[in-house]
Amino acid sequence: MDLTTLTYIFVGGSFALYFGIAIWAKAGTTGEFYAAGRGVHPVANGMATAADWMSAASFISMAGLISFMGYDASIFLMGWTGGYVLLALLLAPYLRKFGKYTVPEFVGDRFYSTSARVTAVVCLIVASVTYVIGQVKGIGVAFSRFLEVDFVTGLWIGMAIVAVYAILGGMKGVTYTQIAQYCVLISAYTVPAVFISLNLTGTPVPQVGLFSGTEDGTPMLAKLNQVITDLGFAEYTAQKGGTMNIIFYTFSLMIGTAGLPHVIIRFFTVPKVRDARASAGWALVFIALLYTTAPAVGAMARLNLMNAIQTGEVGSPDGNLAYAERPDWFKNWEATGLLKFEDKNGDGKIQYYNDKNKEFAAKAEAWGWKGNEMVKVDRDIMVLANPEVAQLPNWVIALVAAGGLAAALSTAAGLLLAISSAVSHDLLKSTFMPEISEKQELMAARIAMAAAILLAGYLGMNPPGFAAQTVALAFGLAASSIFPVLMMGIFSKKMNNKGAIAGMTTGIVSTLVYIFTYKGWFFIPGTNMLANTPANHLFGISPEAFGTVGAILNFAVAFIVMNMTEPVPEEIEHMVEDIRIPKGAGAAQDH
Amino acid sequence: MSTHDGQGYWAANIRLVTWLLVVWAICSYGFGILLRDALDAMVPFGGVGLGFWFAQQGSIFVFLALIAIYAKKMAQIDADFGVRED
């Protein structure tokens, strides 16, 4: 069967599955809409969390990032998994014990203040909207690429599919579709990885293959280092960035992960406190399957790509692939614009090297090379072209398409749910229109969801500034605002309302200002006050890593303000004591 | 439940979490970043060494183990202090 038919079968089949689940898991109460009735098994919730968490960026872009960053990409590997330890040990069990529906609700009750709750809603929306823009763009790109439609059509097809199951089923529908989406995406990710590892190193386990030898006995990573340094690139396994920035960046991703509302609310769906602890562990098991495979995919794909182009000795006239003899996958991805070749020296051969390395560029010139001729190698092809480079059957390519779409859909749905429940539950029901009935609130939640989908679709089409890089920034925003306030709410009995509000405000404003200083106000290009280069950064800390500093400022300001204002009421101290003890978490707490 | 029990339970919890987070920090920020070169030199394998392994694989496995240990130990502590859910 040809690839297009197979792709339609795989993608169509997976969509039919999601719709089936949507009809089966229709939400009848607000408890089901916000927290899936608190009846989700911890392993099932772990799987849903993994899909919720792993976005199109994790699925498509991360291995490519690792490919080109090498060791430095450990920031993402450790940062995006280490956060689950914090979530499991410090937040999830207590927030589950608290037993409400949203993150701002906890903040509002614990800090006995509607202003604190509204501040938390604002922080949640800033962080989640920043994140969702990247996801919606990812949906557009994935759908347009796999279904061969244009970006805008692809984007709205994707949003329409999310709308069906998110509006109907709320958290309940989203949970069960995410479980299906996890199964699709993980098989789509690991199947090609297994084959590539087998081809290159002879072992079917990519995690082992990464540290194994190739055919001639040289370790794979040593060979990769050799091949790329021969062409003037930096050594794969060497550290390139400053240690300080690496540490701050990793920490920012870790505490941002623990503070992202769409992940936290998943732990409200399990029946008990101990389920919340176990479920965080299961989530990491399912995430680790992909995250430990990704570095193998990244390194192996880079080696395959380099070997495909530099076929012989570096510098010899016939050491390079002739453009006329390029393989089919090369042609396919050239057609999409993700690969671009420009024959600068007119010899009909492809020279792919680092022409920014002055010493090497001088050598290359002596060979008649006139600059790097692979003028575009989009990092996304490291995953997308993988099955073709490894010459896997068409069904694997079709499976990768379904997997990429599943990853994009599941994260967008989770984020939209966090945003819409904050609007309908925290703003409408609890702050502005407390008199509405449960039925009306459920309707409001559905309308809020529809509105969030339309807004996200619009922003995905017209992203303010450059949206791709906003994903990493969303973590900084969650790290500087939500993580600290939750920590203080649980671990300090004395933290009061004014301290919490001042802390949250300081954290998010300082981080936003730092980001805007280097990236432009509201990401509008040209409005940045300083060039975004390490020399300009405060202590060498990049905007993506600033969430750590924002969090420190948040804690510091909160404690200073707390000491200057009136202490917490006694009943709040009792509430904190109660949160800390698992007993009495109640299966479903409606209010 | 008396306040005394509550305090004992919380202290046991904090002790456990502190130890686990120390291991968490040593394996990621220590072995994976600050001590990476030293570890690579000490235990070289796979063309690089243990430090690189910790940065790209090992720390993730350690994270998994930490959550598993936490969930198991906390269940025990819950039972010891009589605060286990039914």
**Residue A90 CB coordination number (10 Å):** 19
pLDDT tens digit sequence for A315-370:
888 889 999 999 888 888 888 777 899 999 888 999 999 999 999 999 999 888 99
How far is it, in rounded angstroms, from Cα A355 to Cα A364?
8
Q: Is residue A534 helix, strand or coil? A: coil
pLDDT tens digit sequence for B45-75:
988 999 999 999 999 999 999 999 999 999 9
Q: Which helix (H) or strand (E) holds A397?
A: helix A394-421
User: What is the average per-residue pLDDT within A74-78?
Assistant: 94
pLDDT in the model for residue A586: 57
Nearest to A89 among B48, B70, B78 (CB): B70
Interchain proximity A88–B67, CB inside 8 Å: yes
ipTM of the shown complex: 0.94
pLDDT tens digit sequence for B18-48:
999 999 999 999 999 999 999 999 999 988 9
pLDDT in the model for residue A139: 82
Which domains are delineated in chain A?
3-34+43-302+389-461 (1.20.1730.10), 304-387 (no CATH)
What string of DSSP letters covers A187-244?
A: HHHHHHHHHHHHHHHS-S-HHHHTTSB-TTSSBHHHHHHHHHHTTTPPPTTS--S-HH
How far is it, in rounded angstroms, from Cα A552 to Cα A251?
11
pLDDT tens digit sequence for A235-274:
999 999 889 999 999 999 999 999 999 899 889 889 999 9
CB within 8 Å of A96: residues ≥ 6 apart: A267, A268, A270, A272, A273, A275, A276, A585
Give yes or no for A212 touching B (CB within 8 A). yes
pLDDT in the model for residue B1: 45
Identify which of A292, A264, A290, A278 has the alpha carbon closest to the alpha carbon of residue A43.
A278
Q: Report the residue of A38, A201, A576, A581 to disrupt the B interface, i.e. the one with the largest count of B CBs within 10 Å.
A: A581
Interchain proximity A281–B52, CB inside 8 Å: no
Least confidently predicted of A32-41, A66-75, A112-121, A458-467: A458-467
A588 pLDDT band (50/70/90 cuts)?
very low
How far is it, in rounded angstroms, from Cα A529 to Cα A392?
49
pLDDT in the model for residue A589: 43
pLDDT tens digit sequence for A191-212:
999 999 998 999 999 999 999 9
pLDDT in the model for residue A464: 55
Residue A533: exposure state from Cβ atoms within 10 A (0-12, 13-18, ≥19): exposed
Q: Which helix (H) or strand (E) holds A158?
A: helix A151-201
What percent of chain A lies above the pLDDT cut of 90? Answer: 42
Residues A423, A429, A432, A435: what is their CA dihedral angle, to the nearest 10 degrees? 160
pLDDT in the model for residue A590: 41
Interchain proximity B85–A89, CB inside 8 Å: no
Least confidently predicted of A8-17, A254-263, A537-546: A537-546
Instruction: Residue A251: list chain B partners with CB under 8 A.
Output: 29
Mean per-residue pLDDT of chain A? 88
- To the nearest whole Å, the CA of B72 is away from the closest chain A CA by 9
Interchain proximity A274–B78, CB inside 8 Å: yes
Least confidently predicted of A43-52, A312-321, A517-526: A517-526
Interchain proximity B56–A225, CB inside 8 Å: no
Interchain proximity B32–A74, CB inside 8 Å: yes
Q: Which amino acid is at A57?
A: A
Are the C-beta atoms of A94 and A490 separated by less than 8 Å?
yes
Q: Which CB contacts under 8 angstroms, 24+ apart, belong to A235-238?
A: A235/A70, A236/A70, A236/A71, A236/A299, A236/A302, A237/A70, A237/A71, A237/B47, A237/B48, A237/B52, A238/A70, A238/A71
Identify which of A172, A216, A184, A214 has the alpha carbon closest to the alpha carbon of residue A37.
A172
- To the nearest whole Å, the CA of B51 is away from the closest chain A CA by 10
Give yes or no for B84 touching A (CB within 8 A). yes
Q: Report the residue of B56, B70, B73, B77 to disrupt the A interface, i.e. the one with the largest count of A CBs within 10 Å.
A: B56
Interchain proximity A88–B71, CB inside 8 Å: yes
pLDDT tens digit sequence for A170-182:
888 888 889 999 9
Q: Which residue of A has its CA nearest to B76?
A: A274
Instruction: Residue B75: list chain A partners with CB under 8 A.
Output: 274
- To the nearest whole Å, the CA of B6 is away from the closest chain A CA by 8
Interchain proximity A207–B21, CB inside 8 Å: no
Are the C-beta atoms of A249 and A73 separated by less than 8 Å?
no
pLDDT in the model for residue B22: 97
Count CA atoms within 13 Å of residue B51 on its CB side.
Answer: 20
CB within 8 Å of A435: residues ≥ 6 apart: none
- Tokens 């193998």 -> residue: A296
Interface of A with B in 261-280 (CB under 8 A): 272-274, 277-278, 280
A463 pLDDT band (50/70/90 cuts)?
low
Instruction: Residue B61: list chain A partners with CB under 8 A.
Output: 288, 292
